[in-house]
Amino acid sequence: MNQGITVSEKDELIMRLVHYFVTKENYSPIVVNGVKNEIWLENLEAEYKIVRINSNYIHNKEQLDFDIYKILNVSKQISRKTLTRKLKTLNILTDMNEEIKYENTKNIDTFIVKEDEDLKNRDGLLSLFPLLNESEVKDIHGLDFLLNVSNDINNKTESENKFYENIFKPKKIVITKVLIIINVLLYILTFILSLNNIDLVYYLGLNNILVRNGELYRLLTCGFMHADLIHLICNMYSLNIVGTQMENFIGKKKFIIVYLISLISGSLLSCVLNTGWSIGASGAIFGLLGSLLYFGYHYRVYLGSVLKSQIIPLIIFNLLLGFMIPSIDNFGHIGGLIGGILATMSVGLENKTQKSEKTNGIICLILLILFLSYLLFIKK
């Protein structure tokens, strides 16, 4: 049927490797400028963040050393882009002089794979990837092989593209708008009651003495009170921007959980370190910034430049501003920021946060709340 269509053993071997890493290990192809006859794949959630398959012939030790040098340079570029400190690389060579002696370099593990039999070597790649020799296409050759491999890779890529498209596409924003409406209505109510000499801030604002006396609801209600119109406008403007993004990214249920936990953790730290009154949604908003920071790190392949140029500088600037202006409750901001990161880690990001990471997030969040509660209610 497919007579006349031939695929070299070397090309077939490379395609089998690519097929396995893309379809079974969730690696994605990346474009590296200035290289020929090389395939680069990345999965920042895997032990080996980078898999590089080189089909060029390595004929002497000097050429091998230069090849390693090239990998280190490309890895540095990827590391800077993705904010990944330790970028471990799996280097697969398919054509190297057998007389060359080589040793693994720091963060680069090199394997020689020249033929299918090498994939069965239990001391080779098979020791790291036990399913490597169980590919569905291992007994297919020629045109059928190319079609099957291409279809599998295309289907996998299309599925991932749909997933990421769903994450980033605009969705209907509900929770953020509801939170803004509640804040605005409570401000209007506060203003109306103040005309009758009733200070709603006194009944709902955050005060460590009153919280210690059992009025725990203030840990939550304080986040919906604002001192004046400027205070309200600034916070609602920030909430609209950051809240819209995070509700869109992580979904409504996770968003409200992160918001409320951030608010409470910010209030707790404020009560521990601040002896005065504190009100405003900024602690919860900082929690959303922490959530955005966590999200941006896990999606740094897509948001790497935004993470470095916008998100991190915005957080640092606002924290520094809080330390410079005495009227700003920066302890509430810091508590909210930490709470937002841990809360997002606890609820997890779809296809990104592993079960163990979610468990660690829950444990750390519980320990944070217990520690702050101990400082507030027991160690006075």
Question: pLDDT tens digit string along 341-357?
Answer: 999 999 999 878 888 99
Q: What is the mean pLDDT of residues 290-310?
A: 82
- 322 band by pLDDT with thresholds 50, 70 and 90: confident
Task: Enumerate the H helices of the chain as residue ranges.
Answer: 9-23, 61-82, 142-168, 175-194, 200-204, 208-212, 218-221, 229-238, 244-250, 252-273, 282-298, 300-306, 312-324, 330-347, 355-373
Tell how strand 108-112 and strand 89-93 pair up: parallel
Residue 2 in this model has a pLDDT that exceeds 50: no
Phi/psi-derived region of residue 243, left when phi > 0, alpha when psi is between -120 and 50, beta in every other case: alpha
pTM of the model: 0.80
Number of structural domains, the chain? 2
Residue 140 in this model has a pLDDT that exceeds 60: no
Domain C-terminal end among 107, 140, 167: 167
Residue 332 confidence (pLDDT): 94
- 359 band by pLDDT with thresholds 50, 70 and 90: very high
Q: Provide the β-strand partners of residue 50.
A: 42, 89
Q: Do 271 and 312 fall into the same domain?
A: yes
Domain C-terminal end among 167, 195, 217: 167
Residue 156 in this model has a pLDDT that exceeds 80: no
181 located within any domain: yes
Q: Do 179 and 162 fall into the same domain?
A: no
Pick 156 or 55 by higher pLDDT.
55
Question: pLDDT tens digit string along 167-189?
Answer: 888 899 999 999 999 999 999 99
For CA atoms 177, 182, 188, 190, give the dihedral sign.
Answer: negative
Q: Do 124 and 183 fall into the same domain?
A: no
Residue 350 confidence (pLDDT): 84
What is the rounded distance in angstroms from the CA atom of residue 10 to the CA atom of residue 222?
67
Pick 175 or 43 by higher pLDDT.
175
Q: Do 199 and 147 fall into the same domain?
A: no
Q: Do 205 and 314 fall into the same domain?
A: yes
Residue 85 confidence (pLDDT): 76
For residue 278, what are the CA distances in angstroms to 26, 317, 327, 377?
Answer: 47, 21, 9, 18
Q: Do 78 and 191 fall into the same domain?
A: no
Residue 229 belongs to a domain with what CATH number?
Answer: 1.20.1540.10
Q: Do 42 and 104 fall into the same domain?
A: yes
Pick 74 or 153 by higher pLDDT.
74
Question: pLDDT tens digit string along 200-235?
Answer: 999 999 999 999 999 999 999 999 999 999 999 999
Domain C-terminal end among 167, 195, 211: 167
Q: Do 34 and 13 fall into the same domain?
A: yes
Question: pLDDT tens digit string along 233-288?
Answer: 999 999 999 999 999 999 999 999 999 999 999 999 999 998 889 999 999 999 99
Per mean pLDDT, which of 70-74, 140-144, 199-203 is the most reliable? Answer: 199-203
Q: Do 210 and 347 fall into the same domain?
A: yes
Residue 141 confidence (pLDDT): 55
For residue 285, what are the CA distances in angstroms to 106, 269, 307?
Answer: 41, 15, 17
Residue 147 in this model has a pLDDT that exceeds 80: no
Residue 91 in this model has a pLDDT that exceeds 50: yes
4 located within any domain: no
What is the rounded distance in angstroms from the CA atom of residue 318 to the CA atom of residue 324?
10
What is the rounded distance in angstroms from the CA atom of residue 60 to the CA atom of residue 53?
18
What is the rounded distance in angstroms from the CA atom of residue 87 to the CA atom of residue 110?
14
Cα angle value 165/167/168 (rounded, 5°): 70
Active site residue 282: yes
C-alpha R_g of the chain: 27
Structure token pair of residue 75: 């890895």
For CA atoms 62, 113, 107, 72, give the dihedral sign.
Answer: positive
Residue 4 in this model has a pLDDT that exceeds 60: no
State how far Cα 357 lies from the chain centre.
Answer: 12
Under 8 Å between Cβ of 51 and 21: yes
What is the rounded distance in angstroms from the CA atom of residue 162 to the CA atom of residue 156?
10
3 located within any domain: no
Under 8 Å between Cβ of 335 and 269: yes
* 205: nearest Cα among 219, 188, 184, 187: 219
Q: Do 158 and 192 fall into the same domain?
A: no
Annotated catalytic residue, options 282, 291, 298, 346: 282
Residue 333 confidence (pLDDT): 95
Domain of 259, in residue numbers: 172-378
Tokens 């606002």 locate to: 318
State how far Cα 366 lies from the chain centre.
Answer: 21
Q: Do 133 and 27 fall into the same domain?
A: yes
Q: What percent of the chain has pLDDT over 90?
A: 45
Residue 32 in this model has a pLDDT that exceeds 80: no
Q: What is the mean pLDDT of residues 302-315?
A: 79
Q: Do 114 and 209 fall into the same domain?
A: no
Structure token pair of residue 81: 């882009």
